[in-house]
Amino acid sequence: MTLLEDPRTAQLAHRLAAVQRRIGAAAAGRPGPAPTLIVVSKFHPAADVLRLRSLGVADVGENRDQEAAAKAAEVADQALRWHFIGQLQSNKAKSVAAYAHSVHSIDRASLATALGRAMEARQQETGRADLLCYIQVDLSSAVPGDAPAAAPGGRGGVAPSGIARLADLVAGTAGLELAGLMAVAPLGAAPEPAFEMLAAQSAALALTHPGARAISAGMSHDLEAAIAAGATHLRVGSDILGPRPGVL
């Protein structure tokens, strides 16, 4: 059976097309290039990544190093960009530097330093390109009444007041390239005010780091709101691959 006759490939093609139509509709009339779709393949097998590649997908996202490293190795012959989007322990930096094109979840100085060290070694061995880095921002302060960080809707990341320092560190670290900002909308609240806050932080960051204009925001249920607020990179999992076993 070829991939094109495979029912799972047909299902993925159908769902991918639906998401692409939503993106096209939400981005219609918006200035600038169309947002980049990163298909989040966590909890789904490498075979699905191959199917997605056959459908033209070039960007895939993962949130756990062990799973990502294994999957990337399985399909290493494919022209894919791997985006690491989850909480990352510094002791995983070396592993991530071996396969990741981007890390969207830089949330502390020690992680940036560890990734810089890992990239220095990796670049000496392989000459690979710099690792694109997004500062993950905690948007819980956009929710009225919620206290930052401790808020129940908090999804990780630095408080807005911590962005500038971390951005300077990333931009000043060899092997790392500051791409921009990333966030997950707070749980249980409308995403619009949170994504507007992210857009404002992105504009502020561009004053000191004009090359760091990427905004990684928007998931299956809130990609339209993210696009309206200027997202350049969307991270969409379940609306393409289906529900993940044992989560959410």
Ligand X SMILES: *Cc1c(COP(=O)(O)O)cnc(C)c1O
- Contact residues toward ligand X (CB under 6 A) are 40, 42, 63, 85-86, 184, 219-220, 235-239
Residue 62 Cβ, how far from ligand X at the closest point, in Å?
9
The dihedral through the CA atoms of 163, 169, 171, 174 has a sign that is negative
Q: What is residue 138's DSSP assignment?
A: -
Residue closer to ligand X (CB basis): 87 or 95: 87
The dihedral sign for the CA sequence 19, 20, 25, 28: positive
Residue whose Cβ sits closest to ligand X: 237
Minimum distance between the CB of residue 2 and ligand X, rounded to whole angstroms?
A: 28
Closest approach, Cβ 119 to ligand X, in A, equals 22
Residue 51's nearest CA partner among 178, 221, 240 is 240
Minimum separation from the CB atom of position 182 to ligand X (A): 8
Question: 181 forms bridges with which residues in the sheet?
Answer: 135, 215
- Taking CA atoms, 125 is separated from 20, 128, 175, 243, in Å, by 38, 8, 13, 39
Of the pair 44, 122, the CB lying nearest ligand X is at 44
Phi and psi at residue 127, in whole multiples of 5°?
70, 20
Report yes or no: 170 and 111 within 8 Å, Cβ to Cβ: no
For residue 180, the minimal CB distance to ligand X (Å) is 15
